[in-house]
Amino acid sequence: MRLRRTTLCLVALALCVNAPAYSQEDDAETAAAAAAADEAADEAADESAAAPEIEAKTLFELLDLVKNGLEVEREENLRRERQFAQEKQNQERLLAEARATLAQKEALSQRLEVTYNENEGLIGEKEALLAEQLGQLGELFGVVRQVATDMSGQAFDSLTSSQLPPRQELLDRLGRSKELPSTDDLEALWYELQREMTQQGMVARYKARVLTTEGQVEERDVVRAGVFSAVSDGGYLLWEPAQETLRELTRQPPSKYLDTVAPFEELESGTGVLAVDPSRGSLLNALTDTPSPTERVQQGGYVGYVIIGLGIFALILGLFRWAVVSSVSRRVNRQKKSDAVDEGNPLGRVLAVFDKNRSADAETLELKLDEVVLRESSQIQRLMWIVKTVSVVAPLLGLLGTVTGMIQTFQAITLFGAGDPKMMAGGISEALVTTMLGLITAIPLVLLYDTISNSARGVIDILDEQSAGLIAARAERDDLAGA
């Protein structure tokens, strides 16, 4: 309805035009209605914005519209007043309920606080009473937990776990328990301790699962020697606690240890010989990780192969020369004791030269004998220089391998750092292996060369001695003939 302030103006204009037709009571009523309409128009401005438009054609229709609007607004205001009063009563009721609830909660909080303080005191009294009644049982509880924890770790790594049923659950439960153990638990713990001690001193044969090197699990006959070693099918086994199974070694230890396994497995009673690992696997792992002689040589690289080749060649040559010199020495010794001249040995050839030059003077005979002695000495010492040279060169080649191996090590450190020792193992191995091969080659060759040289020197000394004796005898004879 468009009954805003423009309506008042129209009403006033209508009253002025038709003033003679109305009484004073009508004027007062009209003024009051206009004032009420103005106030209602201000209050209902927002609500009347969406109301449909009603046009008044005459002043009377306009006046009726204003009266109707006042009545509607009066009823709406009354409705709102009743609603506001009701909501106020509801708010007062909710406020009263909230205050009552707060009072109840405060009272409950006070009661709970009093109860809490009383319980604190009661708990302290009960704990003191419990400690007094427990007495030595508290210490027993601690001992049981400690023993169960230690036994759990030992059973986890023990080789006997491959034969005995699972016991980890019981031991872990006793180790973590915060209550006093029962009699059954104490008896079970004692039984496990006793059984572990008994099995540690026994050699047992039983069926067990074995993880092969191909990654398959097989059921095999296993022989266990205490908690030190387990063998099956002629080889050693290791206990894997995480998988709870035995596994084959990727590579068995050397034959001097492995040869004792098969006879021990076949033994039914009595005593037998078996190489055991007191470290429960550490020594076996170390033995399997130890390179074989072939692998050691391969670690030396090309320098190591050169050292080995020269060493073998020099050794064969030295042994051959040693056999030759020893044979010559025996023949010379036989010739020395014999009166017959045998030209199949150096001393016999020296005596043969003496016999051919009996008519020569002492000086000529000395020159002849010196010549043959020098020739025979050269033949005796023939090719010995090769053995000596290799005995000197071998350590030098080992030093060369050491230098090249260290160069590789420093290169690996430069590229990858020094955090991973395996990155440097190749160069260090080559460095150490070549030095070892050089010394292994040089030491026997030096001894062999000295032995051959000593034997050769003995033969040459005999030749020199016999030659000098012949010359001295000839000079003595010449002196007697001249006198």
Ramachandran category for residue 102: left, alpha or beta (phi over 0 → left; psi -120 to 50 → alpha): alpha
How many angstroms from the chain centroid is the CA of residue 399? 35
The secondary element (H helix, E strand) that includes residue 359 is none
**Which pLDDT band, with edges at 50, 70 and 90, does 50 fall under?**
very low
Sequence letter at residue 184: D
Pairing of strands 203-211, 217-225: antiparallel
The string of DSSP codes covering 16-75 is: HHTGGGS-HHHHHHHHHHHHHHHHHHHHTTTGGGGSPP---SSHHHHHHHHHHHHHHHHH
The string of DSSP codes covering 162-178 is: GTSPP-HHHHHHHHH--
Residue 218 · residue 270 · CB < 8 Å: no
For residue 277, is pLDDT > 50? yes
Cα–Cα distance measured from residue 394 to residue 448, given in angstroms and rounded to the nearest whole number? 15
For residue 481, is pLDDT > 70? no
Average of per-residue pLDDT across 427-440: 81
Residue 161 · residue 155 · CB < 8 Å: yes
Cα–Cα distance measured from residue 60 to residue 72, given in angstroms and rounded to the nearest whole number? 18
Q: What is residue 37's predicted lDDT score, i.e. its pLDDT?
A: 44
Q: Which residue has the higher pLDDT, 147 or 69?
A: 147
How many angstroms from the chain centroid is the CA of residue 83? 80
**Which pLDDT band, with edges at 50, 70 and 90, does 483 fall under?**
low
For residue 57, is pLDDT > 80? no
Q: What is residue 167's predicted lDDT score, i.e. its pLDDT?
A: 85
Q: Pick the range with the lowest mean pLDDT from 176-180, 243-247, 439-443.
A: 176-180
Residue 465's contacts (CB-CB under 8 Å, 6 or more residues apart) are none
For residue 44, is pLDDT > 60? no
Q: How far apart are the first and last CA of the chain?
A: 187
Q: Which residue has the higher pLDDT, 58 or 50?
A: 58
Q: Which residue has the higher pLDDT, 146 or 139?
A: 146
The size of the chain, in residues, is 483
- On the 0-12 / 13-18 / 19+ scale of CB atoms within 10 A, 317 is middle
Q: What is residue 45's predicted lDDT score, i.e. its pLDDT?
A: 45
Residue 275 · residue 235 · CB < 8 Å: no
Residue 372 · residue 296 · CB < 8 Å: no
Cα–Cα distance measured from residue 430 to residue 303, given in angstroms and rounded to the nearest whole number? 9
Q: What is residue 19's predicted lDDT score, i.e. its pLDDT?
A: 37
Residue located via tokens 């204009």: 13
For residue 85, is pLDDT > 80? yes
Closest CA to 274 of 239, 235, 240: 235
The secondary element (H helix, E strand) that includes residue 381 is none
Q: Which residue has the higher pLDDT, 174 or 409?
A: 174
Cα–Cα distance measured from residue 118 to residue 100, given in angstroms and rounded to the nearest whole number? 27
Q: What is residue 314's predicted lDDT score, i.e. its pLDDT?
A: 93
Q: Pick the range with the lowest mean pLDDT from 18-27, 272-281, 287-296, 414-423.
A: 18-27
Q: Which residue has the higher pLDDT, 270 or 246?
A: 246
**CB atoms closer than 10 angstroms to residue 413:** 14
Share of the chain above pLDDT 70, in %: 81
Cα–Cα distance measured from residue 155 to residue 283, given in angstroms and rounded to the nearest whole number? 20
The domains of the chain are located at: 5-99, 135-200, 207-279, 299-482
Residue 7 · residue 62 · CB < 8 Å: yes
Residue 181 · residue 144 · CB < 8 Å: yes
The string of DSSP codes covering 304-357 is: HHHHHHHHHHHHHHHHHHHHHHHHHHHHHHHHHH-SS--TTSHHHHHHHHHHHT
Q: Pick the range with the lowest mean pLDDT from 29-43, 207-221, 465-479.
A: 29-43
For residue 145, is pLDDT > 90? no
Residue 54 · residue 1 · CB < 8 Å: yes
Q: What is residue 53's predicted lDDT score, i.e. its pLDDT?
A: 52
Cα–Cα distance measured from residue 180 to residue 10, given in angstroms and rounded to the nearest whole number? 103
**Which pLDDT band, with edges at 50, 70 and 90, does 110 fall under?**
very high
Claim: this prediction has a pTM higher than 0.85? no
Q: What is residue 134's predicted lDDT score, i.e. its pLDDT?
A: 63
Average of per-residue pLDDT across 331-349: 81
Residue range 394-428, pLDDT digits in tens:
999 988 888 887 887 777 777 776 666 666 665 67
Q: What is residue 427's predicted lDDT score, i.e. its pLDDT?
A: 62
Computed over every residue of the chain, the mean pLDDT equals 79
For residue 430, is pLDDT > 80? no
φ and ψ at residue 253, rounded to 5 degrees: -65, 175
Residue range 345-384, pLDDT digits in tens:
888 888 888 888 777 777 888 888 888 888 888 888 888 8
Longest dimension (CA), the chain: 214
Strand-pairing partners, residue 229, are 225
